[in-house]
Amino acid sequence: MKIAVTGKGGVGKTTFVALVGSVLRKKGHTVLFIDADPDMNLATVLGIPQDIQITPIVELKELIAERTGVTVNTPAPFFKMNPQVDDIPDKYCVDYNGYKLMVMGTIKKGGGGCACPENAFLKSLLAYLVVARDEWVLLDMEAGIEHLGRGTAIGVDTMIIIVEPNRTSIETAYRIKRLSEDIRIKKIKVVGNKVQTEEDIEFVEAGLPGFDIIGYLDYSDDVRQISLRKKTASEIGDKTRQRIEEIIKKMA
C-alpha cells in the first residue's frame, strides 16, 4: 500500500509513520519511507545514525538540471515536466538495518510552490513512488495542506490525517479532507494521537462526525520517549505495537 500521512504541525505525523513502518518491517514487509516534511526528522526517529549522510533529493542540483533539461543556476522558463526518475529510489535511498529512506527536501526560494524544475522533479518522483513501486510506501508529508494543492499526493491508496484533541487540529482535518477529495483520493482516514482521557476521545469524535476514525494512540511513555528522541520507533512496547497493528488492519 501507499500511505500518505498528514495533519497540523506538531500532531505526531513523523512518529506515527515511523511506528507503522517499524511494525511492518518486523512482520517481514518491504517498506520505503519518504520524508517529504521540510523539518526532515524521520531519519532520527527511525534511529539512523547522524554520521550517515543523507542528501535531500532537491539538493541534487546537477542531476535535476540534467533530467529537466536546464542549466544549474540559470533562469529556466522552459523545462521537462516529466523527467526520468525511475532510477532515483534505488540510487539515492539510504538503507539502514532494513529501513529504506528517501528525503525529499524543500524548495529554498521564493515562490517554491510554483512551477520550477525542482518542483517538477519532486512531483514526478513522488508520482512514480506511489504508482510504480511494489512495496509499502509511507510518506511523511509536510504540515498542513499545501502539498495537496500541488497534487503531490495523487495516487496514494489512503490519506491518513493525524489529529490531536484540540480545535485547530480538528479544523485542519476538515481542510485536508476537502482538498483530498478534490484530487480524488478515495480513502481518507483519521488517527487520534496524544489522547490521555476518554474525554479526549469524545472530543475528537464529536468534532469529526462522518470521518473514518481508525484508531487512537495515547501519550504513552513509548510515544513520549520517541517524541523526545530518546527512543527509536523499533523499541516500542507490546501495548503500543498492538495498537499500531490494529490501525494497520484498518488502513485498507
- Tell me: the pLDDT tens digits for 167-225? 999 999 999 898 888 877 889 999 999 999 999 999 999 999 999 999 999 887 777 78
Rounded Cα–Cα distance for residues 54 and 109 (Å): 21
Q: Average of pLDDT values for 48-67?
A: 91
Confidence of residue 144 (pLDDT cuts 50, 70, 90): low
- What is the pLDDT at residue 112? 42
Residue 71 has pLDDT above 50, yes or no: yes
Task: Please give the DSSP secondary-structure letter assigned to residue 48.
Answer: -
- 179 three-state secondary structure: helix
Domain definitions of the chain by residue range: 6-249
Phi-psi region of 144 (alpha: psi -120 to 50; beta: other; left: phi over 0): left
State mean pLDDT over 22-30: 91
pLDDT of 41 over the 80 cut: yes
> What is the structure's pLDDT at 108?
53
Alpha-carbon gap, residue 164 to 217, rounded angstroms: 10
**pLDDT attached to residue 111:** 39
Burial of 44 (0-12, 13-18, 19+ CB in 10 A): middle
User: What are the pLDDT digits (tens) for 94-115?
Assistant: 998 888 999 988 755 433 445 6
What are the CA-CA distances from residue 65 to residues 61, 87, 101, 217 (Å)?
6, 16, 23, 43
Q: Which fold has domain 6-249?
A: Rossmann fold (3.40.50)
Residue 188: per-residue pLDDT: 93
pLDDT at 243 over 90: yes
pLDDT-based confidence at 34, cuts 50/70/90?
Answer: very high
pLDDT bucket at 151, cuts 50 / 70 / 90: low
pLDDT of residue 120: 84
What φ, ψ does residue 32 adopt, rounded to 5°?
-110, 120
pLDDT confidence bin for 164, thresholds 50/70/90? very high
Sequence-distant (6+) residues with CB within 8 A of 247 are 20, 191, 214, 215
Burial call 103-119: b when 16+ CB within 10 Å, e when fewer:
bbbbeeeeeeeeebbbb
Q: What is the pLDDT of residue 148?
A: 57
